[in-house]
Each structure stands twice: as structure tokens, then as C-alpha cells.
């Protein structure tokens, strides 16, 4: 009997050695400590032993059973610990792995350029004034000294968005330039104090629309920035000085500029400002069409009739105005050869800026 129990213990413990996981552990427990296990059989057989043998055998069987239970407890601890270590190793975070970058948004190049222009003008004391995109024929043309059948209307093909085209008076249009904002700004400022209207220095940014065939060089919408200054002592010298300073901040101190006489119905005298071609340095190239100069804006002294329409007495006040298209600057700077890229919303184009 004694031999038998030793053998049982030895076998069970040997088998326990090779147990690796909780499943095997459970199986071992059933086999070696369960109801039909060898030790339990010994207990069951105690009754058939003699009175003397019984307590000795019972005690020994108990010892074996306790030894097996102790070994089981220890092994359970080990197996659990090993499982924990394993899962910790498998789930470990490698904090040194490079992160997954998230794609960042950015400003549209035309927006960024617009902001740059407005930043420069703001730095020179111009207040940003936002006017409307949908205008009346009156504001877009008539109040700017362009009466119904004036030939200047043909310079700007217009989107008319209602049916009163023939008489012109009540027609609604998409603004063809930011200049109607001049009238709106002047009227807003002058209506506050008609007897003594305040001086004005505003910058008017916005989208303008023209009924054009879309090609690589003409779009039916583009940004303009308008500038307007009205005061009691404003001269053409102020216009030139302001625009030169603006252009130097925009294109660099070394850039060269020139003014050329031009015509607009709402300014008198009128001029156009050119920058020396920054592609060829003035030598003449395809970009400047061999002239050495690039046109950047139209400008002039505000026409007396326009001042009057804005509520400013032209005998007391004078002013200057200028207007520029902004995408063209980018096209020249970045050698963009097709204006349709700007509103084509192709991410591959936009992401280059």
C-alpha cells in the first residue's frame, strides 16, 4: 500500500511538470485528485483494510493528497503568471514607433494670396470692407459713371440674373468688379454724417464674375482687391506713393514699377501700374510678351461724379482708387500656365502650395 501511494505521488508530480496551460492543469486535477483518481481510490478502499492498517494507510493517503494539492496550487500560480507575462509581452506598446501622420488642411493658394494682400493694405491703414457679390446694374455700372449704353460695358461681359436687361435700370447682376463696393463704402460712411463725412481708407476683397468663355487664360470668376481712399487733401502723389509702397511690400524692395496712362469711366485721370517682369528681369520673355513689364493693377483719382454718388462733395473731397486681379499674380509667381486650376478643386494642384 505504502509503495503504491509513493508510486501514485511520483507519477502525478512527474506529469504535472509538463503541464503548461490552464486547460492541461484542469485535466491533471481531474485525473489525479478527482473522484476516480488513484488517491481517492485508496480512500474508497480503506474500509476493506484491517483495523490496524486503516489509520496508517488513511494518514499516508492524506499526505499524498495534500502534497498533490499543494503542488497543484503552486503550479496554478506559475501557469497564471506565465499567461500574464505572455499577454503583457504580446500587447506591449512600442512608444518609439513613428506616429501615423494625419493629413493637414491648408489655405487655398488664392485665399492665402488674398490674405497677404489684405495684410499689407491693413498695415498701411486700410480697413477691410466686404461688399456683396450680387449687385444691381446701378451700383455695378451707373453709379460708377457707366450709363446704360456706355461702350465700357463691353469691357466686362456681364452675368445678368433677371429679365430687366433692356432698360438696364433695375437689372440684377453678378458684380463684374469690386468697384461697386466703393459706392457702398462711401454711402455707408457718409450717411452717418452727411454734413461732414469722414475720410475713408478701405480695402475691398471679393470674387468677381464675367460671362467669359473659360479657357486656360480666362475664367468666369476670379478675385479682385479694390482700394479706396477719400479725404480733403488727397492727390495723385498720394496714389503713386501708396501704390509704390504697397507694390514694394508685395513684390520686394528691388522690384521696379511704372505707371501708364489708361482709361476707366470711374477715375480721372486713370493709370495702369506695371511691375518689371520678374521672370526675365525686364529683358523680355514669353511671360511678359517681350515687353519686360507685367500689368498688376488699374487705378486713378476717383471721378467727381462717383464721389458725389457716394455722398462726398467733390469740391471739398478728392480720392484715389485702385483695383487688381489676384490670381494672375500667383500664375506669374509660380509659373501656373492654366487659370482653370484655381477653381478646378484638384487636390494634387492645391497641395503644392
Residues of this chain that bind ligand PHE (CB under 6 A) = 177, 179, 226, 264, 267, 298-300, 321-323
Residue closer to ligand PHE by CB (options 37, 270) is: 270
Rounded least distance, CB 303 to ligand PHE, Å: 9
Q: Would you call 57 helix, strand, or coil by DSSP?
A: helix
Judged by CB, which is closer to ligand PHE: 28, or 298? 298
Provide the minimum distance between the beta carbon of 100 and ligand PHE in the complex, in angstroms, as a whole number. Answer: 47
Distance CA(193)–CA(23), nearest Å, equals 93
Instruction: State which residue, 177 or 184, has the beta carbon closest to ligand PHE.
Output: 177
Q: Which residue number, 28 or 209, has a Cβ lying nearer to ligand PHE?
A: 209
By C-beta, is 206 or 300 nearer to ligand PHE? 300
Beta-ladder partners of 294: 275
Secondary structure (3-state) at 232: coil
CB of 329 to ligand PHE, least distance (A): 15
Single out the residue of 43, 41, 12 nearest to residue 29, CA to CA.
12
Minimum distance of ligand PHE from residue 157's CB (angstroms)? 12
DSSP per-residue string spanning 302-320: EPHHHHHHTT--TTT-EEE
Task: Find where cell 484638384 sits.
Answer: 346
Residues 23-29: contacts with CB under 8 Å, at least 24 apart: 25/72, 25/75, 25/76, 25/79, 28/72, 29/72
Cis peptide before 269 (omega within 30 of 0): yes
Residue 41: HSE in the Cβ half-sphere, 13 Å Cα cutoff: 9
Q: Shortest Cβ distance from residue 230 to ligand PHE (Å)?
A: 13
Residue nearest to ligand PHE (CB): 323
Q: How far is the CB of 314 from ligand PHE (least distance, A)?
A: 16
229 vs 288, which CB is nearer to ligand PHE? 229
Amino acid at each position: 500500500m505504502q509503495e503504491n501511494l509513493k508510486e501514485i505521488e511520483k507519477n502525478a508530480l512527474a506529469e504535472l511538470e509538463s503541464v503548461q496551460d490552464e486547460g492541461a492543469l484542469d485535466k491533471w486535477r481531474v485525473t489525479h485528485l478527482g473522484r476516480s483518481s488513484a488517491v481517492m481510490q485508496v480512500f474508497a478502499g480503506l474500509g476493506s483494510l484491517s483495523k490496524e492498517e486503516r489509520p496508517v494507510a488513511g494518514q499516508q493517503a492524506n499526505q499524498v493528497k495534500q502534497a498533490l494539492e499543494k503542488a497543484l496550487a503552486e503550479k496554478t500560480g506559475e501557469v497564471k503568471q506565465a499567461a500574464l507575462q505572455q499577454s503583457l509581452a504580446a500587447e506591449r506598446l512600442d512608444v518609439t514607433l513613428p506616429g501615423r501622420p494625419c493629413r493637414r488642411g491648408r489655405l487655398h493658394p488664392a485665399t492665402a494670396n488674398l490674405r497677404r494682400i489684405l495684410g499689407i493694405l491693413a498695415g498701411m491703414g486700410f480697413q477691410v470692407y466686404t461688399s456683396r457679390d450680387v449687385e444691381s446694374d446701378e451700383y455695378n455700372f451707373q453709379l460708377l459713371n457707366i450709363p446704360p449704353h456706355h461702350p465700357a460695358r463691353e469691357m466686362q461681359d456681364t452675368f445678368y440674373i433677371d429679365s430687366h436687361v433692356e432698360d438696364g435700370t433695375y437689372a440684377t447682376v453678378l458684380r463684374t468688379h469690386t468697384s461697386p463696393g466703393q459706392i457702398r463704402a462711401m454711402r455707408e460712411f457718409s450717411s452717418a454724417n452727411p454734413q461732414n463725412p469722414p475720410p475713408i481708407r478701405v480695402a475691398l476683397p471679393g470674387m468677381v464674375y464675367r460671362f467669359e468663355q473659360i479657357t486656360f487664360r480666362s475664367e468666369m470668376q476670379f478675385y479682385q482687391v479694390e482700394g479706396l481712399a477719400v479725404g480733403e487733401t488727397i492727390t495723385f502723389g498720394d496714389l503713386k506713393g501708396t501704390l509704390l509702397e504697397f507694390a514694394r511690400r508685395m513684390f520686394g524692395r528691388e522690384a521696379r514699377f511704372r505707371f501708364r496712362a489708361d482709361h476707366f469711366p470711374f477715375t480721372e485721370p486713370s493709370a495702369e501700374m506695371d511691375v518689371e517682369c520678374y521672370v526675365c528681369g525686364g529683358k523680355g520673355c514669353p511671360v511678359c510678351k517681350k515687353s519686360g513689364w507685367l500689368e498688376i493693377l488699374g487705378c486713378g483719382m476717383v471721378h467727381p461724379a462717383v464721389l458725389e454718388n457716394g455722398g462726398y462733395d467733390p469740391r471739398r473731397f478728392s480720392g484715389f482708387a485702385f483695383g487688381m486681379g489676384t490670381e494672375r499674380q500667383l500664375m506669374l509667381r509660380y509659373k501656373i500656365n492654366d487659370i482653370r486650376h484655381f477653381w478646378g478643386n484638384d487636390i494634387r494642384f492645391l497641395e503644392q502650395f
